Structure 1
Amino acid sequence: MVLSHLAVLVVALTAMNVVASIVDGPAGQTSDAGGSDLDRLLAALAARRDGEVDLELLWPALAAGMTAALLLSFVFSRFLLRPLRQVRAATHRLAGGDYDGVLDVPREPGLAALVEDVNRLAAGLADVERRRARLVSEIAHEMRTPITILSGQIEGMADGIFTRDDAMFASLTDDLARLRRLADDLSNLSRTEEGAFALQVTPTDVVALAERTAERLRPQFDDGQVALAVVPRPPVTAVLDPGRVTQILVNLMGNALRACGAGGRVSVTVRTGQAPAPYVEIAVEDDGIGIDEHDLTRIFNRFERVEHPGRPAPAGGSGIGLTIARGIARAHGGDLTATSRGLGHGAAFTVRLPLRQDPPASR
């Protein structure tokens, strides 16, 4: 900063000295010449010898300017470096796991933007840490229940309290399946974070895939007295992993079922488009509790479970289903988005996948 001030000072003083010597001219030539000031200045510039600089004028001015530059640089550097030191200390706290500190925003626009970014980073990390801690607690609870039941049943059979019949083995199988689903969710989340989904792609009729998935889940909808309809349309073939896309649809239809009460309605629609490239969309729409506007992007965060007034988030959910579903869609080169007109007005989740004949790159 000091050097930049000094450079500007030297250039300014040199220019002032040159102009002053030109205007004065050798032996007063320009002062007596006729014509305009510009004519006299140009004539003096043409007659002036290179290298003429009045050092008696330059050195005192340069010394005074250097002193002023040093003082101003010191003052301004203190002004600028103080928030930078605060940012540095804040980043050290973030690295140490302390996310609660909030920096004061300085007046200088550039530094203010930097401090605001650091504050947002701290808030984001704090939110992730809270959700991570909640996930650990919920996973421990999810695992503790089936493990306790399994332990009790096995000990009961060993002691002869429980009969070793088909019903007992079916109960053991259900508890093991619950643990397996939890392990699969965590494994899929890890693959989503790493972008490491292994896709087994094949040309697939997307309409038929949506219909098969709906029929698979229809008994659950019938039990909940929720209507499920797949809007009919001609076949649409795309190169995709049918198992992974089915996983997306099961998650979306299951969420739609939980969002609706008795008498609700869920529809599944397949449609195609051309811009910016050919694509196929699968939209799952419901008339249930809806989603608030500020939650439309938050619901895709890992470990996030949105709660509605008077209707808590479903128990037993890991809060990573939508994160995994979006990861699968993006592994195909597509995406998963959500829209809603607000609480009480239902929601729509749309899976967009590219229509192409060549398989996507393996991930």
Structure 2
Amino acid sequence: MVDSNVELLTARTPGCPFDPPAELTRSSAQAPLTPLDFPDGHQGWLATGHATVRRVLADPRFSARTELMHAPMPGHEGITPPPEPGIFISMDAPEHPRYRRLLTGKFTVRRMTQLTARIERVAAEHLDLMERHGGPIDLVTAYAQPIPATVICELLGVPYEDRERFHADAATIFGADTTTPEGLVESYQAFKALTACVRELVTAKRAEPTDDVLSDLTAHDLTDDELTGIGVLLLAAGLDTTTNMIALGTFALLQHPDQWAALRTDPDLVAPAVEELMRYLTVVPTLVRVALKDVELDGHLVKSGSTVVLASSAANRDPAKFTGPNTLDLRRNPHVGFGHGPHQCLGQQLARVEMRVAFPALAARFPGLRLAGPADDIPLRERATVYGVTSLPVTW
């Protein structure tokens, strides 16, 4: 029996910022599915095996509804309400596919690939600014944030002058230390602030539609509450997750000079490199599901109502799936970094295109890029919903 605590799911080993928490790795070595004690007394499960995590994510007998779940972290007991209208990642069928179908066509591989030229211009603009500024400079604010922020805001029709405010709220929602009461309040307040801003945007789009995703959605039979929820979800996820992948991915590459050099010299390596960085880093380290009925899983009976914590970071380091799982190897790439099954990340193709532009452009412009201080001094978002770095000082 594993005792659920902050260290199990969040505590990284000093000097190993890219590895899953040591307690989680030890649990994974025992079995791909182990019993887990929750802070409120619930007895659930911890899934760490790659095959096990994929199986749960693809099985409709496991629900994504937050109001059915027990929270694995202390301090969250009894605070998880049903999702707001439009927050479809926390819904099951039929609500989840109804919302998702409205958006799937707007995030296809073809449509996202068409954005490549625009993303390249955004990246070049910020590389120019970095070059004029000179090092040292914080790569998060100078480069990792602006690329996804500009692109998702343009897709949704967010006014340029509002982008920094939206990004600050999104970074707080996913970056606050939600293992503390103060962090929970901070995250909730940022969510409410972002919601209020998006609601104003929805009203403006209804009155005067423009050429963007949010305006397109106003043509469907959706309430203002639903449109607001969808907008908040797309903005927050599209801003913060890719920001942290670009920043943390650059940190990892700089700590692996051979891989950084390979990426810089081999264009064919760019696409698989993005997939391997998704596996190796897993910036969304855990997902949660709840059994809707009794399910046999890995020789255990997971009873109806049992909450299962899916440790994606451990699954992406599963030695039963990967040879040398703790090694960064840009030439391999299967992973569950974007999830799996019906809730697999809707914006994954956009994130891929952004990263396929961002990493090689940075490497080409600054081949001598390096950290501007000791690696051990880089501040990590250990207890955040989305893992990453709060800043990444670099020079060249």
Point out the structure with max Rg over C-alpha. 1
Higher helix share: 1
Q: Which has the higher contact order (CA 8 A, sep 6+)?
A: 2
TM-score, with length taken from structure 1 = 0.27
TM-score, with length taken from structure 2 = 0.25
